[in-house]
Amino acid sequence: MTERLQPGDVAPAFALPDADGKEVSLAGHKGRKVIVYFYPAALTPGCTKQACDFTDNLDLLAGAGYDVIGISPDKPEKLAKFRDKESLGVTLLADPDKKVLESYGAFGEKKLYGKTVVGVIRSTIVVDENGNVERALYNVKATGHVAKIIKDLGI
């Protein structure tokens, strides 16, 4: 089982391809706060709702100094389809080998319809401008989660 991150931890560094295959790194966002959210799969109802909610609130979040990055095990080609089909504005990154998901504690055992399975744990990590974990939220709901984050961050 992967260790979950705690506030104050240094956020694990990453560099992953985006929907267009261009590498995006956490270090590239130094000096800005970053909301990194982990979701199971592009083009599924819950993940679509969550990505659309982040996109709808992108201007508000950016105005408060936050960048938003979504990470899933999908390949860049699927992320590009997802972005284009749903007109998403969030940066979507591909982690098919699940290394970043694991380093953030967002992959492991979870309950799904009463059964224990291994998979992506829907999680949101807020990283401060110095690269440290400000908030670590695990097993979040796809619906209503973005509104809760905005409220919790006082935006």
Active site residues: 47
Q: Can you tell me the distance from the alpha carbon of 3 to that of 5, in angstroms, rounded to the nearest whole number?
A: 6
Where in the chain does DSSP place strands (E)?
Answer: 15-17, 23-25, 33-38, 66-72, 91-94, 107-112, 115-120, 123-127, 133-138
**Which residue from 104, 136, 138 is spatially nearest to 121, judged by alpha carbons?**
138
From the number of C-beta atoms within 10 Å of its C-beta (0-12, 13-18, 19+), residue 151 rates as: exposed
The Cβ-side half-sphere exposure at 124, using a 13 Å CA radius, reads: 22
